[in-house]
Every structure is written in C-alpha cells, then in structure tokens.
Amino acid sequence: MNRRLEYSLIVGLLLLAAALRVWDLTRLPPGFNTDELAHIRITETVRQGHIAIHYQVGDDVGRAGLYALGNAILVSLVGDGLLGYRVLSWAAGMVLLALIYALARRLFGPPVALIALGLSAVNLQAILLARTVTPETLVPSYITLTLLVLARAFNLRREVRFRLPLTLPFALLGVLFGLSGYLHYAALPLGPIGAVFFGHLLLTRQPLSRRVWNAMLFVVVLATVVALPYLISTARETAISEPYVLWTERPRSLSDAIDGVLGAFGGLVWKGDPRITHNLPDVPLLGPLMALLMIVGVVEGLRRWREPRYALLLLVLAAGLVTDAWVRTEPSFAANLAAWPAAFILAGVGAAVLARMLRGRGWAHAWQPVGILLVGALAVNILVTRHRLFDTWREHPEMTSAYHAHLGYIAAYLDRSADGLPVSLCTHPLRGKNEVDLTARQMLNLMMHRDNLPIRHSDCETGLVFINAGAPMRFIYGSPRGPEVMRPELKAWLDQARPLPADHLPDGTVLWVDVEERIMDAGGYAWGQLAETYFVGRDEPAPVRAPLAIKLERNLTFAGYDLFPRQRPPGGTPIVLVTYWRVDGEVPADAGIFAHLVDYWENPETNQMVPLLEPWAEANSLDVMASGLQNRDFFAQVLYIYMRDDLRPGNYALVIGAYQGNVFNRLGVLDPATGARRGDRLSLGTIELTAQPNDGGQADSP
C-alpha cells in the first residue's frame, strides 16, 4: 500500500469519525445524566480553585479529580454548557483513533492499523463515549497512549530490537503509570500490565540491554513519586477511592464470579452493557463479523504468545475483561475500557490472519477479497450505527429521564433563541435535589452556555413570577408535570398566553405572556378596593384599615390577594390564599411568606376584636427563588391553610406577612405616611368557621 492511499484512507476515516461524534452534539444526548452532573460539579469546583485527589458530591461515591482538572482548563478556554463540557470528551475520542492507528501500525503494519481505525471510527460505543462528560472518555486514550509509549521505550515492533534505552520514553512511562489512579478505576491495571509485560520480556529472553534494568527501576521510582499523593489520599479516605470501588463491587460468590466472566466476554461479542447511559442496551462492543475477526486475532495471539507485540495486546485485553468480570455480573463498558484498544487491533490482526490463510491457499492477492469484505462491513456498520445513534438511541424511552431531557432541550432552546425577552421558568419541585445534590435550576444553569439571560425561577404548583410587573416575557414550564400541577388560580394568568415554538419540547411548554395591564387593573380594583387589609400592631388598639399596596422591610410590597372561601367548616380541604407581591429591590435569599389563622380577643378598653399571636393553622413558604428577583418583579404565592377537624366554630383572624430565615424573624410592616415600622403582620379580615352539618353546632374547643 502506497503512502498516498494510506493517508487518504486515514483522512477519510477520521472525517467520518469526527462527523459521527460531533453531529448534533448539544442535543444528543439531550442533557446530562447523573454521573455527568457529578463530574461537572467537580469541574466547577476545580475552576473555583479547590484542588483535591478525590471528590465527593453528596451521593457517597468518590471520584478521582484528574479528568475534572483537564476539563476545567478546557472549559475555561471554550466555555461551558451542553457543548463546552463535552469538548474534552470529543477531543479524547478523536485522539483515541489516532493513537490506535499509531500503535497498530507500529506493531502490525498499515493494513491492520487501517482496519483498527475503521472499526473504532464507526463503533457505536466509542461514539457514545465521545459524547459523555465522564473520566471514562479518557481511559481508552490513556491506555493506548501508555501502550504506545511502552512500545517505543522497548523499541517494540514486530519484535524487540536491541537499542540502548532512551530516557524520555521511560520517563513518560513512569508518569503515565503513576497518574493512572487519578483518572478512573478502569485504568488501575496499567501498572500491573507493565510489570507483567516486563516479566514476559525476561521470560522469553528478548534482547534487552542491561541498562533496561536501571530504566525500569527509574520507572518504578518515578511512578511511585507521582502516585504518592494518590496513595496517601487513598489511605486517608479509603471509602471514596478507586480501589474501594473495586473492593465493594467484588464478586460475592463463585456463581457471581462465573456470571461476571461470562458477562465480560458477552459484552464484547453478543450482549453489551444494558445501561442507556453507556450503550444502546444489549448491543455488544463489536458486531458479528468484527467479533469473529477479534476471536481469530486472539487465537493467533495465543499461538504466538512469545512475541511481545501479541503478549502486550493479550495482557491489555485480559486486564479489561478481568476488571469487567470483577465489578459487575452483567457487562459494564465502564469497567472493560482497558480492553477496547486491544479488541479493535486484534480484529485487524484477525483480518490479516484471514488474508494470510487465503494467500496460503493460492490467492496471490488475498487482501483484495478481504478488503472488499471489510469495506462492505464498514459501509453496513456506518448505516447501522447511524440508525442506532440518531434514531434508536435518541428515541429510547429511558433517554428522557436518564439525561434530564426536558431541561436539556430548554437549555438548547435558550442558547439558540435570539429573543431578548426575559424568562420566567416554572419548575416542579423547585428545591428538590437529585442524587448528586443538584436542583433542576442548578442543572439548567450547567446545561446552558449563555450566562447573561435574565431568568426567574418558581415552583410550577404554587409560585409564579411576572417579570417587570407583568411586561412581555417568556414563560417556560421547566418540568413536564408543570401544566398538570399548577394551581388553577395561577394558570388563569396564562389564559391569554401565546405558544412559542421550541424544538423537541411539547406544545405549550414555551409561552409569550403579557399581563402588565391585567396586573394594573387588579391592583386598582380587585385588590385595591375589594380586598380588605388591616394593620395589626402591638400599639394598635384595634386593626386599622390599610390601603394597598403596603410596603414591608427588605424591599417587599404586599400588592393584594385572593381568598377562597371566607366561610366554611373546619377540616377537609384547606383555605386557599393567593397572595401577590411586588419587589422593590434586593430581597433576602431566604425570604418567606406566612399566613396564620389566629383567634380573636376583645380589647376591654375599646371593645374591639384584636388578633392573637398563637396560630391554630398556618402556612409558611415561598415557592419562588427570592435571590433571583429584581426591581419591579411581581410574584404570586399560593398558601394552603389546613385546619384541624376539632377547631370550634366561630370567627378567626387571617394574618399574613413576610419573614427572613424562619417565621419568628418577621419583616416589619411600614407605615405608608412615615415609613416607620408598624408591626410585623397584616390582617386580611375574618374567617368564619361554621359548625359541621352533623354535629348540631357543637364542637370541642381547641
């Protein structure tokens, strides 16, 4: 094969691989899975200057920090979001192809190298790995780089040739061996692989210089020095280290060990990793033809095990399979990553063996039929992989939940949308956290690249924010359940909203909303004239009518309310109170709204009824993110006041207010004329609890 043809094939395969790995990268997968979010959290921790050997993000799983360090550097250069966090993985996937080609060409020549390159270029699992934000994306490249450096250190080609050892390859070996633990547990076998391979060179009496012994001692010392912080960290925090993962996931019985071995082999040839985040479930690493060629290559390697090039690949393949068999009974592509370079190259070796067999039977140009077969297999593999990647994997029913697809599509929409309108994002639940201690709001921030878009966050059920007093804005349901859980009193504000198109999101997820005039009308009539509100203060002899809107401390203004109903029996369904508030500046991040149902007492001096302090029923919450609110924002908070069944019939006062931190630290109500503090709560008038229909008007006193 002439060099020009070889270079042309290399370029064509690399371009094909790049297209499969980069096409629709920000929307396939549509978001980040939990493990990716954990490593992105670690990446952001590194960017903030907190460097450690191991990290723990709230799920009791330890993770090494080398990948996060590299990703933090790259993200600082290219940006974050669905694309920025994946750039390192995409680059690692492309580098893997170059390294596999270089290693295979050095050991077996151009034909085998081209087959290995073509196989890895269109391999579904390699493509998925290049789209994943985890350290697993670096492991195959790291393993292959170490093997290539090892081959150069020992001048390993078709055989070991005598040459005085050079310092640089051995120094790189020491660094690579020492750093392997900082990456992922699947890279831990690298050190033992190097030791066993050196033993193999001695056992088979390869032509090695005496200086090689000194070089190997140098490698051991350098690797130990590089790995020393990792070893100390592992000894001090064993429970979050990679060796601990191997220990805790060990086989529990002989049957588990046997199942693990079968699963490890099965993952290569007949049934792959069942997890949607690692694979299209049950698709093996290699297709039928390539699996057969790999088996032929393994048999050839066992037959010629004395040759170092075969021994090296067999060691790497065995290390990946043993790790897989040890960690899980079913196939795990996170555990067998060390085997990938060897599997791809051994498939090329199998093709070379097939060509050699044909030549031995009189086929002078044996590579021609083998080449035609491989080109046909490559073409079929391209079509199958494209269908599996862009159709089957994208539409798999587990994809939506595993990758938080709804949030991912919202992030892609917001990044691509040229509309400058601010966004009110309604997510249910607002403060619920996933396994790695992230809320939906935080996950969306990690998925988005834009950082200057004004977004207000609220709960789709009981909280709603209208930006700039209801001026035109975009309202987005940040969770699929948003429309079904939102209170009718809040959803009524969206009656006149206009749907906006958004790719991959259900119709009506993104709405154009303008309720500025409606809010002004409600404040001038429904709340301003019909909503009775009173000052309640310690110095007040009786509640005094308070004209809306009423200012409170810390830049909050009570604008009005809707109450359903004022007369009802105790127990049963709650009182529904919808309160409306205006923001006049920075609001405390831990602000809350309270509504208390309290008893009256009669002031003997004035014979007026005054609300007491002790509540018989209460609701305390704020289901909008107060820290993100800005001047002139307007928000609604629905409060449910549940009452005991044994509350006696009679008149009760409904009082409300705001607090910071806890309900005992209430914000003061300000006098509209002087601005002085005038108590810490407002009365919304009387709630009349009527007798239950079947109790004859009698009930126990509370």
Q: How many residues does the chain have?
A: 702
Structure tokens at 131: 């789209």
Q: SS3 of 425, please?
A: strand
Tally Cβ neighbours within 10 Å of residue 645.
11
Answer for the pair 41, 71: CB distance below 8 angstroms, yes or no: no
pLDDT of residue 377: 87
Q: Centre a 10 Å sphere on the Cβ of residue 678 and count the other Cβ atoms it contains.
A: 22
List the structure tokens of 587. Answer: 């609001």
User: What CA–CA distances, in Å, run from 149 to 104, 156, 190, 199, 312?
Assistant: 13, 10, 12, 17, 12
Structure tokens at 338: 């060390």
Mind spelling out the 3-state secondary structure of 600-663? EEECCCCCCEEEEEEEEEEEEECCECHHHCCCCCEEEEEEEECCCCCCCCEEEEEEEEEEECEE
Summarize pLDDT for 429-484 with one digit per residue, the tens: 898 999 999 999 999 999 999 888 889 999 989 999 999 999 999 999 999 889 99
Give the separation between CA 577 and CA 562, rounded to whole angstroms.
Answer: 6
- Residue of 146, 424, 126 whose CA lies nearest to 290: 126
Using a CB cutoff of 8 Å and minimum separation of 24, what contacts does 498-503 make?
500/419, 500/474, 502/409, 502/410, 502/413, 503/27, 503/409, 503/412, 503/413
For the chain, residues with pLDDT lower than 50 are 695-702
Among residues 111, 116, 121, 119, the alpha carbon closest in space to that of 147 is found at 116
Q: What is the DSSP string of 248-259?
A: HTS-SSHHHHHH
φ/ψ region of 498 (left if φ > 0, alpha if ψ in -120 to 50, else beta) reads beta
Query: Where does residue 685 fall: left (phi above 0), alpha (psi -120 to 50 degrees), or beta otherwise?
Result: left
User: Do 336 and 323 meet the contact criterion of CB atoms below 8 Å apart?
Assistant: yes
Torsion from C-alpha of 100, 103, 105, 111, nearest 10 degrees: -40
Peptide bond into 454 cis (omega under 30): no
DSSP letters spanning 359-375: HHTT-TTTHHHHHHHHH
Q: Alpha helices, DSSP H only, in 133-166?
A: 139-153
What is the per-residue pLDDT for 163?
A: 66
The tens digit of pLDDT for each residue in 306-323 reads: 999 999 999 999 999 999
Q: What is the pLDDT of residue 697?
A: 44
Name the residue among 290, 298, 266 with its Cα closest to residue 279.
266
Q: Where does 218-311 show beta strands of DSSP type E?
A: none
Under 8 Å CB-to-CB from 678, ≥6 apart: which residues?
A: 535, 537, 668, 669, 670, 671
DSSP assigned state of 677: B
Is residue 541 classed as helix, strand or coil in its secondary structure? coil
Q: How far apart are CA 93 and CA 128, in angstroms?
A: 9
Quick one: the chain helix, strand, coil %, rounded to 5? 50, 20, 35
Task: Name the CA dihedral angle for 417, 422, 426, 427, rounded to a multiple of 10 degrees.
Answer: 60
* Dihedral, CA of residue 631, residue 632, residue 635 and residue 641, to nearest 10: 80
In this prediction, residue 539 carries a pLDDT of: 65
